[in-house]
Chain A
Amino acid sequence: MKIVVAIKQVPERGAPVRVDASGLRIDERGLQFAMNEPDAYALERALKLKMQHGGEVVAISMGPERVAATLRDALAKGADRAMHIALNDLASCDALGTARLLAAAIAPEQPDLVLTGLQSEDIGSGQTGVLMAALLGLPHATLVLDIEKTEHGFCVKRELEDGWMQTVELPLPCLLTVQSGGVTLSYATLMGIKRARTKELRTVAAVQLAADTGIDLNPVVALESIAPQHKQKTAQLLTGTPSQATAALVDKLRNEAHVL
């Protein structure tokens, strides 16, 4: 079974984010990047399927040079090879352009299964997976928590709202967007990191790929600005040492809010 996993590199969770002078981009100075967590779960699922059924796992990502580090991480965790669509300014492309480029790079691979996380932790439009499926002409399921290979395809468990679930049967090939959770994320072993250095990491320029496949990269939705939210802080902040602040809080809860 050949599985392609689309992975995004995102700012490390909790990292302080600032807007740069353009008002359109995040200031990347001093920012650390990591594998988007839902994509890490997608990779974990792919590696598990490979362990059960054999085959190949190909990781793909798009973005500037730093993205190669995340792809090396995927290789160290057990992916067999990786593809990097090089684009210096990821935000110059909207989610549709991103999906078009990813689909164009994935199509010649003719995978049995395409996996990706349900959304990115930075922009979080939650659409790349469904768009790639449509562009590749594949059936899809979203918010997938469990994947089982059947005789003719897959039977997946997907999450619905309010604690409900359902199973969905899909033929092969198909695309699944993976929900976080359900399995423990593995870390790269020292051996894995060593092996990753010898694995194939192919780079193709986004502009070249777009030209070769006739993709129009002009956005259909324009980003006008990004800015900190206008904060309307409602909280009374209690200060002092932990014991002073918590004593003041208990007093407020009892005598002001009357909830104790």
Chain B
Amino acid sequence: MNSVLVVLEANSGRIGAQSWEALTAAHLLGAQVTAVVAGAETGTVAAEAARKGVAHVVRLEHTLLAPYTADAFTQAIEQLVRRQAPQFVVFPHSYQVRDYAPALALRFGQLLVSEIVAIEAGPVFARQILHGRLLARYRPLGAGPAFVSVQAGAFAAAQADEAEAPIETFAPELTAEQIRTRPSEPFRASAETVDLGSAKRIVSVGRGIGSQQNIPLAQELATALGAELGASRPVCDAGWVSAERQVGSSGKTVAPELYIALGISGAIQHLVGMKGAGCIVAVNKDPDAPIFEVADYGIAGDLMEVLPALTEALKNAR
């Protein structure tokens, strides 16, 4: 029987949805799933994990595991993996995981298969490449445990269970000298001035808008609709739209009644941030863009022609 270790991630004392999605993936890999919560004080999150249909919960606890550092997490989880000797180690593909999991897998001579979106018989793990245009399938060959991280939104979140799994504590051996970096407390980048999360309508621009000079065209459409302006990551990186308007896994998760995606191809990092919208409209020049797989309505065409026409059509429809 395959044994699977799933490393859950807690933020401000709660385990996030992405971890429960990783747990679902873990269940697909084997019946014997052990959930791991790592930190300095993991009692509350361990109790939460124990009611999610897992066989065991391990509290990987040490004062040096808070705040998070790659050095401490790599060291501590390595010791646990060696003790448990699972066939698979599963993570949510979070920023924290991408910071240490590759180094952890390396200690076992393995390569993390990151951002998986599907598990097939074998097992073979599927992940998206080239901005979601292609799907690549990988099979781990190594003798040791296989390490995989799970893309947000690819699996349904595991539900709570009646039964309560036994909880044990494992104290890794760690010393302060092993930790080479000194992280600060997290802080907010800037005061928030827009609340995209509660916007009823959002007009969002992607790289397809072409240049900063074209942003006012999108703003005009947003104004005509009484919508907030949103943007994809590359547009915010380029400074065309302020970062607080970024929609996606590294920005805001939004759920408006109407979401209009202009020149957004639909990388999964963007899709996880907006697929909860009630009605999705996409305008993109590439009819094969992944955004059309989540959109309700689409126009495949030149944004510079369609966008002014749409603003005009909305004004006329008043």
Taking beta carbons and an 8 Å cutoff, which residues of A are in contact with B? 11, 13-14, 17, 19, 26, 94-96, 118, 121-127, 130-131, 133-135, 139-143, 159-171, 180-182, 184, 219-239, 242-243, 245-247, 249-250, 252-254, 257, 259-260
B188 to chain A, nearest CB (A): 6
Q: Is A236's CB under 8 angstroms from B297's CB?
A: yes
Q: How far is the CA of A182 from the CA of B189 in the complex (A)?
A: 12
Q: How far is the CA of A160 from the CA of B95 in the complex (A)?
A: 7
Among A135, A142, A224, A260, the residue within 8 A (CB) of B106 is A135
Q: Is B188's CB under 8 angstroms from A259's CB?
A: no
Set of chain A residues within 8 Å of B252, measured between Cβ atoms: 162-163
Q: Which of B28-36, B138-146, B160-168 contacts A (4 or more CB under 8 A)?
A: B138-146
B292 CB-CB contact with A under 8 Å: yes
Set of chain A residues within 8 Å of B287, measured between Cβ atoms: 237
Among B141, B244, B292, the residue within 8 A (CB) of A233 is B292
16 further A-B contacts with Cβ under 8 Å, apart from A223-B138, A246-B299, A259-B279, are: A17-B134, A123-B129, A135-B106, A139-B71, A140-B99, A162-B252, A163-B243, A166-B183, A221-B138, A227-B135, A234-B292, A235-B296, A242-B299, A249-B297, A249-B299, A257-B278
Closest chain B residue to A181, Cβ basis: B237
Main secondary structure of the interface of A (DSSP, over half): mixed
B2 CB-CB contact with A under 8 Å: no
Among B133, B184, B201, B299, the residue within 8 A (CB) of A17 is B133
Q: Is A222's CB under 8 angstroms from B139's CB?
A: yes
Q: Is B95's CB under 8 angstroms from A253's CB?
A: no
- Which 9 A-B residue pairs are closest in the complex by CB-CB distance? A181-B237, A235-B298, A139-B180, A242-B309, A235-B295, A127-B102, A134-B103, A246-B313, A130-B102
Q: How far is the CA of A128 from the CA of B193 in the complex (A)?
A: 36
Q: How far is the CA of A243 from the CA of B115 in the complex (A)?
A: 40
Q: Is A139's CB under 8 angstroms from B310's CB?
A: no
Q: How far is the CA of A167 from the CA of B184 in the complex (A)?
A: 5
B312 to chain A, nearest CB (A): 7
Q: Is A229's CB under 8 angstroms from B128's CB?
A: yes
Q: How far is the CA of A183 from the CA of B306 in the complex (A)?
A: 32
Set of chain A residues within 8 Å of B142, measured between Cβ atoms: 220-221
Q: How far is the CA of A136 from the CA of B309 in the complex (A)?
A: 56
Set of chain A residues within 8 Å of B99, measured between Cβ atoms: 130, 140-143
Q: How far is the CA of A233 from the CA of B317 in the complex (A)?
A: 28
Set of chain B residues within 8 Å of A170, measured between Cβ atoms: 180-182
B16 to chain A, nearest CB (A): 9
Q: Is B183's CB under 8 angstroms from A167's CB?
A: yes
Q: Is A253's CB under 8 angstroms from B187's CB?
A: no
B40 CB-CB contact with A under 8 Å: no
Given contacts A229-B290, A236-B298, contact A242 B305 (CB under 8 A): yes
A162 to chain B, nearest CB (A): 8
A98 to chain B, nearest CB (A): 10
Closest chain A residue to B180, Cβ basis: A139
Q: Is B138's CB under 8 angstroms from A222's CB?
A: yes
Among B128, B136, B139, B189, the residue within 8 A (CB) of A165 is B189
1/0 per residue, CB under 8 A from A, across B113-129: the answer is 11100000000100011
